[in-house]
Amino acid sequence: MDTRILTIQDISCVGQCSLTVALPVISACGIETAVLPSSVLSTHTSGFSGYTFRDLTDDMEPILAHWNKEGITFDAFYTGYVSKAQIPHIQAIMERTARTRPDGTTALRIIDPVMADNGKLYPGFDDDFPAEMARLCSGADVILPNLTEAAFLLGIPYAGDNRNGTDYDEAYISSVLKRLRALGAKHVVLTGVSFAPDKLGCACFDGHEITYYFNDRIDAAVHGTGDVYASSFTGALCRGWSVPAAAALAADFVVECMKATIGDESHRYGVKFEKALPYLISRLNG
- Which positions touch ligand PXL (CB under 6 A)? 10, 12, 17-18, 41, 44-46, 81, 114, 122, 224, 226-227
Q: How far is CA 43 from the centre of its chain?
A: 18
Nearest distance in Å: CB 90, ligand PXL: 15
Choose between 192 and 244: whose C-beta lies nearer to ligand PXL: 192
Nearest distance in Å: CB 102, ligand PXL: 36
Nearest to 193 by CA among 138, 244, 147: 147
Choose between 75 and 132: whose C-beta lies nearer to ligand PXL: 132
What is the distance between the alpha carbons of residues 96 and 66, in angstroms, rounded to a whole number? 12
Nearest distance in Å: CB 23, ligand PXL: 14
**Helices (H), ranges, the chain:** 19-28, 57-70, 87-96, 129-138, 147-154, 170-181, 225-238, 243-261, 277-285
Nearest distance in Å: CB 77, ligand PXL: 17
Terminal Cα-to-Cα distance of the chain (whole angstroms): 23
Choose between 27 and 46: whose C-beta lies nearer to ligand PXL: 46
Choose between 12 and 79: whose C-beta lies nearer to ligand PXL: 12
Choose between 40 and 72: whose C-beta lies nearer to ligand PXL: 40
Choose between 10 and 75: whose C-beta lies nearer to ligand PXL: 10
Nearest distance in Å: CB 19, ligand PXL: 9
Nearest distance in Å: CB 227, ligand PXL: 5
DSSP assignment of 16-65 equals S-THHHHHHHHHHTT-EEEEEEEEEEEE-SSS--S--EEE-HHHHHHHHH
**91 contacts: CB under 8 Å, gap ≥ 6:** 136, 139
At residue 84, what is the residue type? K
